[in-house]
Amino acid sequence: MIEKCLESTASSHVSSRPASNSYQLAVVGCGPRGLYCLDSLANELQQLDQIPRLYVTVIEPCQYPGAGCTYDIRQPHHLRMNFAARHIDAWVNREDRTLQQLSLVEWMRLHHPGFADPNAFVPRAIVGEYLHHCFRLVAERLSRFAEVSLIRDKVDEIKRTEDHWRVSLSSQTLQANEVLLTIGHEGWRTTAMQEEISSERLIEGVFPICKQLNLQQVAPQAKVALRGFGLTAIDAALSLTEGRGGKFHECGNELQYEPGGWEPEIIYPYSRTGRPMLAKPSSPTLIDTVDTAIWDKWRTEILNSDLPISPSRFDACLWQPVIRAASEALTDIKGSIHSVTEVTQWFENWRLLPPEMVTNVMRQSAEIALGNRPPDAGWSIGEAWRQLYPALVKTISHGGLTNNGWTQFKLLAVEMERIAFGPSEENVRKILALIDHGMIDLTFLAQPSLTEHNGIMKISNDSITVNLDKCINAVIASPNTPATTGPIGSLLSRGSIKCIDPTLGIDIDRAGRPISEIPGDTAGLAILGRATEGCVLGNDT
């Protein structure tokens, strides 16, 4: 209802030039971050004695604002969060929340009681329903202070003219005094492949599943290469199996796969390193037994670093606290000494992990996450990274690292992503079940060669070659490769905004205002989220 109201008012005022006594704000992109921004705006306006005449126009192409494309409520339920439900709350830090402002778990108890386990990694579609519900509450509240409208369209370009912004959509052009860009992933983009594969053989991207991985795209019994071995590749593998009617059955501590009959014949994942993602524990029981003073001590150590941190001080200021916290946590939880050397050695071995050990480390991490095996150095290093990450974000964002320091940090962060920010233990066990069944084959996991000649695509390693039907590119574009078209691409190409460095994100201040060399060129513009990664740490983590 509120959306109908929002949309019906949209065309009545947004395309006209703002009146001198009114103020126009355009919010471009409304995933979770756009939602939080609108909520903050409503909070700010609520504090004011006198409210200016304000128009807020939300521009979002996806059907369900708040959810955006990542949390689209129509996606299948086997696509899960990699984060326990208890951590998800759209109204964080709100002491004065109203009875309607519920956390995800509270909301699920009312609307999806079957999912309301605080430790569960719930379907992203359910989180999307929740976020969209929150958007409706926020829009309703904001409407008390401003005229709010929603346009379901994509912004192609934004341009500063004398005293306002021109916002070009596919169907119309708007004018605004201020523009907020929260466009996240900028749609479903992939990282370009080096190999030259024809469009008949290549599936560029996994989402939306119903379009990219349907039976026409990947026929039953097809032989498929899957580029990537991260969360998106896991989503793809589950969509081609569980999503096609296959079932997982509990069998002791493991899962067994029963095919549904519509699966590909075989899926060959491959990646640059061949290293897997480790399971993230769902139950807080394990971590609750670690003395919290350990995390506090090492958080403080990181927060007290002299800034900016250069490569020569990187190890002492950022990495050693993580390693030391990991060794102390492991010692605390196991009641026997586990040295810094042991933890460091685990990490060194991890970086040299041979392909034949991949399923072992995945299985081990799932067993630890389930509580069926005592924690090891790998668990402790992942937990230390998760616990200290907020301190790293605070220390590093907005100039805490020199540019060379960032290059070093990015390499470490990519590695730690696999160890600390992996899928649920359930999804790791599902992938292991598919490997045990033979549906997923790790023969070509690390750096195979993929070629296509005369319409025949092949994957090979030093000893074996197999013909393939399709290759799925399941590697999402990095935050530091903005789309060349679209609002950010257009601002970058005109030089209105700049990246900190060619391999890093857009330079913004703490208010999200781009730092521009041309005075006035970006007045009234704010950019938040993934495009700023490298100036801000952990936008999507």
Ligand X SMILES: Cc1cc2nc3c(=O)[nH]c(=O)nc-3n(C[C@H](O)[C@H](O)[C@H](O)COP(=O)(O)OP(=O)(O)OC[C@H]3O[C@@H](n4cnc5c(N)ncnc54)[C@H](O)[C@@H]3O)c2cc1C
Alpha helices, H only, 248-376: 285-288, 292-303, 311-314, 320-334, 340-351, 358-370
Answer for which of 18, 123, 128, 184 binds ligand X (CB under 6 A) is 184
**Nearest-10 crossing angle of helices 377-396, 403-420:** 140
Site string for ligand X, 461-480 (x = CB under 6 A): ---------------x----
Q: Residue 487, interface with ligand X (CB under 6 A)?
A: yes
Q: Residue 82, interface with ligand X (CB under 6 A)?
A: yes
CB closer to ligand X out of 3 and 540: 540
Q: Residue 62, interface with ligand X (CB under 6 A)?
A: yes
**Cα–Cα dist 194/215, whole Å:** 26
**Cα–Cα dist 520/268, whole Å:** 52
Q: Residue 391, interface with ligand X (CB under 6 A)?
A: no
Answer for which of 187, 308, 371, 538 binds ligand X (CB under 6 A) is 187
The least distance separating ligand X from the CB of residue 44, rounded to whole angstroms, comes to 19
Pair 292, 300: CB distance under 8 Å: no
Site for ligand X in 135-164 (CB under 6 A): 154-155
Answer for which of 25, 26, 59, 384 binds ligand X (CB under 6 A) is 59
Could you tell me which stretch among 28-36, 263-271, 353-361, 380-388 binds ligand X (CB under 6 A)? Answer: 28-36
The least distance separating ligand X from the CB of residue 430, rounded to whole angstroms, comes to 15
Answer for which of 18, 24, 25, 32 binds ligand X (CB under 6 A) is 32
Relative to beta strand 165-169, strand 449-453 is unpaired
Q: What angle do CA 379, 380, 382 make, to 5 degrees?
A: 65
Tokens of 27: 């919010």
**Residue in 495, 498, 507 with CA at minimum distance from that of residue 532:** 507
* 446 SS3 class: strand
CB closer to ligand X out of 276 and 486: 486
Q: Residue 183, interface with ligand X (CB under 6 A)?
A: yes
The least distance separating ligand X from the CB of residue 1, rounded to whole angstroms, comes to 21
Alpha helices, H only, 179-248: 209-212, 231-239
**Cα–Cα dist 236/75, whole Å:** 13
Could you tell me which stretch among 9-17, 178-186, 190-198, 331-339 binds ligand X (CB under 6 A)? Answer: 178-186
Q: Residue 205, interface with ligand X (CB under 6 A)?
A: no
Query: How many residues interact with ligand X (rule CB under 6 A)?
Result: 31
Q: Residue 540, interface with ligand X (CB under 6 A)?
A: yes
Could you tell me which stretch among 60-68, 282-290, 408-416, 489-497 binds ligand X (CB under 6 A)? Answer: 60-68
Instruction: Look up residue 338 and give its amino acid.
Output: H
Alpha helices, H only, 421-521: 425-437, 486-493
In the sheet that 165-169 helps form, which strands lie side by side, from edge to edge? 155-160, 165-169, 173-176
Q: Which stretches of the chain bind ligand X, using CB under 6 A?
A: 28-29, 31-34, 59-62, 68-70, 81-83, 154-155, 182-187, 232, 476, 486-487, 529-530, 540
